[in-house]
Amino acid sequence: MELDAFKVAVDAWLDEHEHELASDYEGGGTLDQQVAQLRKVMGMAYAAGFMRMGWPERAGGLGGSNLLRAYLGEVLTARDLVEAGFYSLPEVLAPTMIDYAPETLAAEMVPKLLSGEEIWCQGFSEPGTGSNLGSLACRATHTDAGWRINGQKVWTSLAQYAQRCVLLTRTGTLESAHRGITAMFIDMDSPGITVRPIETMHGAEEFCEVFYDDVVVPLDRVLGEVDGGWSIAMDLLPYERSTALWHRASYLHRRLEQLVSAAPAGTLDPTGVGEATQLLWAFRARSRATQRRLAAGETLGSETSIDKVLVATAEQAIFELVGEGLGPEVATGDDPVSARWRAEFLYSRAATIYGGSAEIQRNIIARRLLALGDDR
Ligand SMILES: Cc1cc2nc3c(=O)[nH]c(=O)nc-3n(C[C@H](O)[C@H](O)[C@H](O)COP(=O)(O)OP(=O)(O)OC[C@H]3O[C@@H](n4cnc5c(N)ncnc54)[C@H](O)[C@@H]3O)c2cc1C
């Protein structure tokens, strides 16, 4: 289906099912409510066929351009039907499965993710291993029964809800750093996995510590080549900075508009609003080009670090305006609307951390794109 026809069909479907799709809570909702809402909306969009469009047929999709996925996420977030970050997790994890999992595994699993039947998580970061991912230590040892995994991950978003995890493990020596990493697809109900949620400063247990104690993983659950996991991580991270961020900007746009209309006249400094608006549109223009490059079959790489810096800067500028526009009451108000603005302000602090910190993105831009200094 072409993009224009897709937009018309999706919009008509959303109008028709407006009441069934809407959440049954006011404000941002609890994490449980957000996850339940996400699964409901994804399930309905999958059953209607829209969620399958833009994904390859060999993984249960209906084919077509990634621009279809970009539009679907844009409009679902613009209508406040899903939490943008959670909705976009398949944009990060499904391409990895499609490109690197055995074909039958991808065909079996990807539909479960797209339909909301399952939640998946991304087990990369460890205590002491975030930016310097190449030094990760969670160890996978080859045995006749399968890979035996021991180690700890941290900041694994939604691990307590997840049925599967894309996990990076060390299979080679630490000295071989980037070359000794292997990606695996893990069932989260495997014996030996312990998940401990961690509360973020905005009060939600959004991410977790995950402990792996003698967890046995079938040998055919390796993604790509043994010891070749570094290139999978490098391929995955640009996805985290492309369509997923396009969806996020749609959410930011809606919240900026809502803030401007909720703020009493004269409270918001027009210069601040102008700057936030300009930052957001700078990102959207950049991300539009990124979506089109993806649609043209280009491989995304380090240049998506620019997208990440732009969207994080815009997000922080927008939520910086909350106190000024809505007054100090928003810092303490118990009503769901105040609680949501407060949570979003606090969460915007994380925008320059998750998916690669702003400092690391700037290092990549300087070293790889501008050739300033060593590419380490
Ligand atoms: C909300 C949220 C959700 C997340 N979800 C997931 C998830 O689902 N799965 C997952 O695997 N991870 C997840 N993460 C973890 C995230 O990827 C890491 O937090 C991030 O990569 C930074 O790593 P770190 O926390 O270890 O910080 P560090 O790497 O220890 O960095 C600390 C500070 O030092 C700076 N710094 C580090 N190295 C350099 C350098 N070489 N040059 C300049 N500055 C440097 C960083 O920019 C940062 O300011 C999530 C994080 C957040 C906040």
Which strand (E) or helix (H) includes residue 143?
strand 139-143
**pLDDT tens digits in sequence order for the chain, 376 residues long:** 799 999 999 999 999 999 999 999 988 899 999 999 999 999 999 999 999 999 999 999 999 999 999 999 999 999 999 999 999 999 999 999 999 999 999 999 999 999 999 999 999 999 989 999 989 999 999 999 999 999 999 999 999 999 999 999 999 876 676 789 999 999 999 999 999 999 999 889 999 999 999 999 999 999 999 999 999 988 888 888 999 999 999 999 999 999 999 999 999 999 999 999 999 999 999 999 999 999 999 989 999 999 999 999 999 999 999 999 999 889 898 899 999 999 999 999 999 999 999 999 999 999 999 999 876 5
Question: Closest Cα partner for 195 from 133, 203, 187?
Answer: 187
Please give the full DSSP string across 268-293, using - where no structure is assigned: S-HHHHHHHHHHHHHHHHHHHHHHHH
CATH 1.25.40.10 for domain 241-369: no
Cβ of residue 155 lying under 6 Å from some atom of ligand 1 = yes
As a whole number of angstroms, the distance between CA 28 and CA 344 comes to 9
Cα 351 to chain centroid distance, Å, stands at 11
What is the CATH code of the structural domain delimited by 121-230?
A: 2.40.110.10
Cβ of residue 55 lying under 6 Å from some atom of ligand 1 = no
The rounded Å distance from CA 329 to ligand 1 centre is 32
The rounded Å distance from CA 359 to ligand 1 centre is 10
Cβ of residue 130 lying under 6 Å from some atom of ligand 1 = yes
Cβ of residue 131 lying under 6 Å from some atom of ligand 1 = yes
AA identity, residue 148: R
As a whole number of angstroms, the distance between CA 20 and CA 37 comes to 11
Cβ of residue 120 lying under 6 Å from some atom of ligand 1 = no
As a whole number of angstroms, the distance between CA 270 and CA 268 comes to 6
> Which atom number of ligand 1 is nearest to the Cα of residue 131?
29
As a whole number of angstroms, the distance between CA 245 and CA 149 comes to 32
Cα-only R_g, the chain: 21
Q: Tell me the β-bridge partners of 150.
A: 139
Query: What predicted TM-score, i.e. pTM, was given to this entire model?
Result: 0.95
What's the pLDDT tens digit per position in 40-67? 999 999 999 999 999 999 999 999 999 9
Q: Which of 135, 210, 232, 354 for mutating ligand 1's site (highest number of atoms within 8 Å of CB)?
A: 354
pLDDT at residue number 188: 98
Q: Which two tokens stand for residue 245?
A: 């961020």
Cβ of residue 88 lying under 6 Å from some atom of ligand 1 = no
Cβ of residue 134 lying under 6 Å from some atom of ligand 1 = no
The answer to whether 239 touches 66, Cβ cutoff 8 Å, is no
pLDDT at residue number 104: 96
pLDDT at residue number 289: 97
Cβ of residue 157 lying under 6 Å from some atom of ligand 1 = yes
**3-class SS of residue 67:** helix
Q: What is the CATH class of 3-118?
A: mainly alpha
First to last CA, the chain: 43
AA identity, residue 293: R
What residue segments make up the domains of the chain, in order of their start? 3-118, 121-230, 241-369
The answer to whether 212 touches 136, Cβ cutoff 8 Å, is no
Same fold, 3-118 and 241-369: no
What's the pLDDT tens digit per position in 113-147? 999 999 999 999 999 899 999 899 999 999 999 99
Please report how many Cα atoms fall inside a 13 Å half-sphere around the Cα of residue 294, on the Cβ side. Answer: 30
Give, using CA atoms, the residue closest to atom 40 of ligand 1. 360
